Amino acid sequence: MTSALSRLPDLGVGVGWRPEIAGVVADLPDLRFCEVVAEGIHTHVPLSGPLATLRERGVTVVPHGVRLSLGGAEPVAPERVRHLAECAALLDAPLVSEHIAFVRAGDLEAGHLLPVPRTRAAVDALAANYARTRDGLGDVPLALEPIAALFDWPDDEYDEADFLTAVLDRTGALLLLDVANVYANAQNRGQDPIALLDRLPLDRVAYVHVAGGREAEGLYHDTHTDPVPQPVLDLVTALAERATPAGWLLERDGDYPPAEVLRGELAAITGAVAAGTRAAGVR
């Protein structure tokens, strides 16, 4: 695990690549990395178009899976693992990522990322599916992302921090930490986000997601369609005081703002990281 982290390049502050903002992303002059939804990549043809141009510029592109269903009771589908491996090879990616979640049960597709019960049985299922996926990926590291959840299962045996630690200890996986999810989960459980952050295995963080959300009907929703709120930027600073992830990535999945607004959000993340790094250096 430590060697996998040490091999990651310095990625800086990046953005989730989406076709709708391809032109904006292409015009970012100092971009060092972006992330692309793995299921949207066609691996049976050579890389072309905007993503190929980014790779020619030396921009690192990380495939981010959303359909493996690592937390499901069934084994992950070999063809989905194979596709993720092909994405990594096509993009020459230093790592890939997926979610600690399930999206299907039997023949039923949820259409959403659903939280797994925080139980010992779920740790076993996740570890088995992680091992199957790693076998298919070869030497490419796999980072796991905990999701934002609007509910908890009634028979949970762990709290969020202990469950995540148990999963990472069993698998040896890297961590993709979404600070917006940390904020959402803490808010919706009436907890302190910083206290939750301090209980997470921050020494395993490969890179970080940052996203916007909104309050609705008494809950904070991780929408990816709203501006990044100040409390999430404060968590970016707090994390940068405590850890040195390889990269920080802005996620936006709809209601795309004008280019100057997107660039402003990237600048705000850069400033929040710098503030945390300075604070860590003063200690």
Q: What is the pTM of this model?
A: 0.96
pLDDT confidence bin for 2, thresholds 50/70/90: low
Q: What is the pLDDT of residue 110?
A: 76
pLDDT confidence bin for 140, thresholds 50/70/90: very high
The answer to whether residue 274 scores a pLDDT higher than 70 is yes
The answer to whether residue 170 scores a pLDDT higher than 70 is yes
Average pLDDT over residues 54-61: 98
Q: What is the pLDDT of residue 252?
A: 96
Average pLDDT over residues 203-223: 95
Average pLDDT over residues 212-225: 93
> Nearest 10 degrees: CA dihedral of 247, 80, 144, 122?
170
The answer to whether residue 95 scores a pLDDT higher than 80 is yes
Mean of the per-residue pLDDT values of the chain: 96
Q: What is the pLDDT of residue 283?
A: 60
What percent of the chain clears pLDDT 90, i.e. is strictly above it?
Answer: 92
Average pLDDT over residues 79-103: 98
Residue 163's closest CA among 193, 121, 224, 204? Answer: 121
> If you ran DSSP here, which 8-state letter would residue 58 be given?
T
Q: What is the pLDDT of residue 128?
A: 98
Rounded Cα distance, 39 and 42, in Å = 8
Q: Could you tell me which residues come within 8 angstroms of residue 224 by beta carbon, excluding any fewer than 6 positions away?
A: 211, 212, 213, 251, 252, 253, 254
The answer to whether residue 1 scores a pLDDT higher than 60 is no
